[in-house]
Chain A
């Protein structure tokens, strides 16, 4: 009976790559003059090379009122382009969208904050930029300030705020928008963890109790799983219709498995410091058996060594660092086994874990081959691997980064 609140019909978006549009006026004048003189272009490729790039191809889907739809896809799949078109920041090249309701987007919190103005004035200005009227903002002002937890600084210019206060205030304004359709893009990247939980809770409340239609774009699958009923999966500009969350996340992960061949890395020609790799060289690192690294699944790391002479008492160590540089997992071959003695030649060393304890996130990988104080070869942070979510991962939205292992539980007393 009720019509879809958003109807997307055959949307495509073309970008022109290359230098066009970024040339200076002089260059274009020069071209014009040359064309009149019918001279050949003095600046052939690459300067004038223009290629078309289709960020979205014939995307169609419907969203029903009150639905919370996730939009997921790898970087460059067209998510941001789709959001920009939906929020009217840019135009589609072809196609048509009908939106039956007020729409507000939260592409980046704090847009339009002016550093010289007080928190109070910025709440009004930012609210107006996001499409609220002054009387709407006035009604919600106290709730906004409460939510942001900054009531004592509300008349201080925001340039004196800490970055945490700034972000909290910005999110608070956005969270109190009351459009029929809300577009949210990666807001979970803001604030400390407690505040992130609060934001997630607020969004859930908005979604559940107020019957708002929400489009939620995120890389954070646990949040998608918690908030959304259905997801549109984008890949290379093509979109699936809204499908249920589990199959969407499956689809997204499959994408990763197909795309991320980087789990097998030829390390033989990477540069080394201090002439390392002369006695024994790490030539290949591979996560065997699993097309993707997933939380809770077994992990088989295969390190290939090329020994140019026989080496004694070798330990192979693999380290995973978070993207902000903290070592969260170390696998040393000699933790419970004896160090290896390897003759000349090529050897495959397999390191196995039954249960991958790392949270879904990206990690920097380091590998070393060491005999006591003698470091044969070391490759610090030579690759970034993504650990993805899996069926074991039901609760990882409780924290970010680090390890989680399933303990055995018993109750006594």
Chain B
């Protein structure tokens, strides 16, 4: 009896440290994480005719628009890649990043009612979001691969092939989730206090897309950098991630482990800062709504 009691002992006291993470709580609530992922998935396509097909339609249509506007009309370089594959690869990566970021940023404002009524480790919510968007990413990657294979055999992309870096894809995806969660959690903490950031975060994501080589290749960005400062082009961690997606699947573009290291380093810092801000907001949020 005593041992059992000690096992469950919880101490509540004010102002625990900034990065105090309730590991045990996260483990106890892992079923909640799974159920939240299910809820997101089911509720999103409830009462739609096409259902999860929307996951496919979205990137395909955007890719067509990009190909027409930036490829045909403006004529931006695609590093010699087929424009459709070039844009689609970047967009699939970006869609995951921006949707995790956007939904994480609304963690506090969207769950105010829930958070005011029940305790569970608040981190469960962003983690569930990152996980539930993995389904979308998976379906979109499959779509991309399907188009890639068709193009490969009908000759439009006969010279393209993946390389061994493609095995690092899970790392790239985890890295992207880390970065999106970091920025999203920081924004959610700021939004909890100042609703201004709610408007700002949508805008920020849009601007960030143009700062990332989605519609242009990294090589043309590096060319614009002053000599010796090429590394500055990859301070935006998404740059190397999008480029890594393209390089590993199609072996074209710019990839170096040094650049990737910078990107990972920046992402980890962003994540830790975002996590700290999130944890802090989680403790006081209920008193300020």
Contacts and interface: CB of A to CB of B under 8 A. Distances in A.
B116 A89 contact: yes
B118 A112 contact: yes
Interface stretch (A116-124, A245-253, A309-317): A116-124
A129 B35 CA distance: 9
A85 B120 CA distance: 13
B190 to A, nearest CB: 8
Nearest to A94: B14
A344 interface: no
Nearest to A23: B194
B29 A131 contact: yes
B159 interface: no
A3 to B, nearest CB: 7
Contacts of B15: 91
Interface stretch (A102-110, A228-236, A347-355, A383-391): A102-110
A132 B11 CA distance: 21
Interface string B157-197: 00000000000000000000000000000000000011111
B115 interface: yes
A133 interface: yes
A100 interface: yes
Interface stretch (B2-10, B133-141, B214-222, B233-241): B2-10
B35 A124 contact: yes
Contacts of B194: 24-25, 28
Interface in B1-28: 1, 5-6, 8-15, 28
Contacts of B114: 111-112, 129
A128 B12 contact: no
Interface string A75-111: 0000000001111111111111111111101011001
Contacts of B47: 116
Interface residues of A, number: 50
Contacts of B115: 89
B28 A125 contact: no
Query: Which 10 residue pairs across A and B have the least CB separation, nearest first?
Result: A88-B119, A25-B194, A128-B32, A25-B196, A97-B12, A21-B288, A116-B43, A111-B117, A116-B46, A100-B5
A270 interface: no
Interface of B: 1, 5-6, 8-15, 28-29, 31-32, 34-36, 38-39, 42-43, 46-47, 113-120, 193-197, 283-284, 286-288
A305 B14 CA distance: 57
Nearest to B287: A90
A132 to B, nearest CB: 8
Given A94-B14, A111-B118, A116-B47, 15 more contacts: A22-B288, A25-B197, A87-B118, A92-B12, A92-B14, A97-B12, A98-B12, A99-B9, A100-B9, A101-B5, A101-B8, A105-B118, A116-B42, A124-B35, A129-B32
A87 B120 CA distance: 10
A117 B196 contact: no
Contact of A125 (B1, B5, B36, B284): B36
Contact of A87 (B119, B193, B195): B119
Contacts of A86: 12
23 contacts: A21-B193, A21-B288, A94-B14, A97-B13, A98-B9, A98-B10, A98-B11, A98-B12, A99-B8, A101-B5, A103-B10, A105-B119, A111-B113, A116-B47, A117-B42, A121-B38, A121-B42, A128-B31, A131-B28, A131-B29, A131-B120, A133-B31, A134-B35
Nearest to A130: B118
Contacts of B118: 87, 89, 105, 107, 111-112, 129-130
A7 to B, nearest CB: 10
A64 B46 CA distance: 48
Nearest to B111: A112
Contacts of A99: 8-12
A350 B120 CA distance: 58
A93 B288 contact: no
A15 interface: yes
A413 B120 CA distance: 63
B13 A95 contact: yes
A274 interface: no
Nearest to A157: B46
A50 to B, nearest CB: 13
Contacts of A28: 194
Nearest to A9: B13
Contacts of A26: 196
A297 interface: no
A269 interface: no
A114 interface: yes
A320 B255 CA distance: 81
Contacts of A91: 12-15, 283-284
Nearest to B10: A99
